[in-house]
């Protein structure tokens, strides 16, 4: 079984109503049946994606002594994440075997929102000569364009107010992780990233030539997220599942890297503004029950509980065993 591949090009064309309807229905079906899809026809050029891949490679080609000068801190989850630095949010399990550079929506220190919610702050950028910032923010803008159109499309499919949904994306807590997974020995039982569900609305991930991402289907089987070079892996996070009243699925997934070479990826996580309360925007499906999530409070809890000495205290979180 492979993840469905869906051409979403018609979603960006107001002149192709029939094709748009078919693509929208196919996307909704995939995200409600497994919570993942491979999307093509998204309009992000291969040049932008290749530039982004180069930027990530440049970051991790940098001396760790230089990267470590800007290591993430509690209360400022921006900058370098050393190898094996974080553990599962549930407090159970060994440290994940990846290193990363964490970025959030670029916010000026003078922006009043920084005083309203602690997770807002300027990004930290690697102290290197190469201009990775421009390449990353160009890619970021493309991911924002795609994610906003997908949110609009899914809102229409659900019959919820698309303008309200998009209004929640002003001053977002959207973030991106630049990740480097060193190769693990073939006999290793460690994870690159442990089985988990995403916490946000939508995740977008460019094609990875190395592989290692696996998705759990409804039968409990783990299937590889095979993606063509021009595709983006897209998945639903907990917040969108909750907004949809359980109609769209937030699905467990995991990463391991036993390829013998480094694996690098750069997932983009769309998250609403800090003061948005996430709760069903239409009656939940039968049997679906989950507490509302306050975006700012729950996001801070998720980030802080990555540290080994901090366990999530947010009752709205679902951090169970997904193996």
| Full DSSP string of 275-317 | TPEE--SSPPPTT-----EEHHHHHHHHHHTTSTT-----TT-
- Quick check: is 275 in a domain? yes
- Quick check: is 315 in a domain? no
Average pLDDT over residues 308-313: 78
Which residues are within 8 A (CB) of 33 and not within 5 positions of it... i.e. 6 or more apart?
218, 249
- Quick check: is 313 in a domain? no
User: Burial code of 285-298, b = ≥16 C-beta within 10 A, e = fewer?
Assistant: eeeeebeebbbbbb
Q: What's the number of domains the chain is made of?
A: 1
Q: What is the pLDDT of residues 205-254, one digit of tens each?
A: 998 889 999 999 989 999 999 999 999 999 999 999 999 999 999 999 99
Q: What is the pLDDT of residues 120-155, one digit of tens each?
A: 999 999 999 999 999 999 999 999 999 999 999 999
Cα separation of 64 and 82, whole Å? 8
Which three-class secondary structure state does DSSP give residue 185? coil
Looking only at the bridges linking them, the beta strands covering 232-236 and 202-206 are antiparallel
Domain of 103, CATH number, reads: 2.60.120.330
- Least confident segment among 33-42, 90-99, 137-146, 255-264: 90-99
Question: Exposure of 128 by Cβ count < 10 A (0-12 exposed, 13-18 middle, 19+ buried)?
Answer: middle
Residue 321, pLDDT score: 64
- Quick check: is 280 in a domain? yes
52 vs 44, 69, 108, 133, 174, CA distance in Å? 11, 23, 23, 10, 17
- Quick check: is 314 in a domain? no
Residue 255, pLDDT score: 95
**Residue 296's pLDDT band (cuts 50, 70, 90):** very high
- Quick check: is 41 in a domain? yes
- Quick check: is 311 in a domain? no
Q: Domain of residue 225: give its range.
A: 5-304
Which residues are within 8 A (CB) of 86 and not within 5 positions of it... i.e. 6 or more apart?
95, 96, 306, 307, 308
Cα separation of 197 and 184, whole Å? 22
User: Burial code of 233-252, b = ≥16 C-beta within 10 A, e = fewer?
Assistant: bbbbbbbbbbbbbbbbbbbb
The model scores a pTM over 0.75: yes
Cα separation of 206 and 260, whole Å? 21
- Quick check: is 320 in a domain? no
């Amino acid at each position: 079984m492979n993840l469905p591949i869906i051409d979403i090009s018609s979603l960006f064309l107001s002149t192709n109503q029939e094709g748009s309807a078919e693509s929208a229905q196919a996307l909704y079906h995939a995200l409600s049946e497994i919570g993942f899809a491979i999307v093509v026809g998204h309009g992000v050029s291969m040049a932008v994606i290749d530039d982004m891949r180069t930027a990530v490679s440049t970051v991790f080609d940098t001396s760790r002594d230089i990267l470590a000068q800007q290591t993430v801190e509690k209360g400022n989850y921006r900058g370098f994440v050393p190898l094996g630095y974080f553990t599962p949010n549930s407090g159970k399990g060994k440290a994940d075997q990846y290193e990363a550079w964490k970025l959030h929506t670029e916010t000026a220190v003078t922006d009043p929102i920084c005083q309203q919610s602690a997770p807002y702050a300027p990004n930290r950028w690697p102290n290197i000569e190469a201009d990775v910032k421009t390449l990353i923010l160009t890619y970021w803008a493309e991911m924002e364009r795609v994610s906003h159109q997908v949110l609009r499309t899914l809102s229409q499919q659900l019959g919820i107010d698309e303008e309200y949904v998009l209004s929640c994306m002003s001053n977002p807590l959207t973030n991106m992780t630049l990740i480097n997974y060193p190769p693990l020995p073939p006999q290793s039982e460690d994870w690159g990233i442990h089985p988990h569900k995403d916490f946000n609305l939508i995740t977008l991930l460019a094609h990875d030539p190395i592989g290692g991402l696996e998705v759990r289907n409804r039968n409990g089987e783990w299937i590889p997220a095979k993606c063509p070079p021009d595709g983006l892996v897209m998945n639903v996070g907990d917040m969108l599942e909750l907004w949809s009243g359980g109609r769209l699925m937030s699905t467990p997934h995991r990463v391991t890297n036993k390829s013998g070479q480094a694996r690098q990826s750069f997932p983009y996580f769309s998250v609403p503004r800090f003061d948005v309360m996430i709760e069903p925007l239409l009656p939940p499906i039968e049997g679906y029950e989950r507490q509302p999530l306050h975006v700012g409070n729950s996001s801070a809890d998720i980030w802080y509980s990555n540290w080994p000495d901090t366990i999530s205290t947010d009752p709205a979180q679902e951090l169970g065993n997904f193996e």
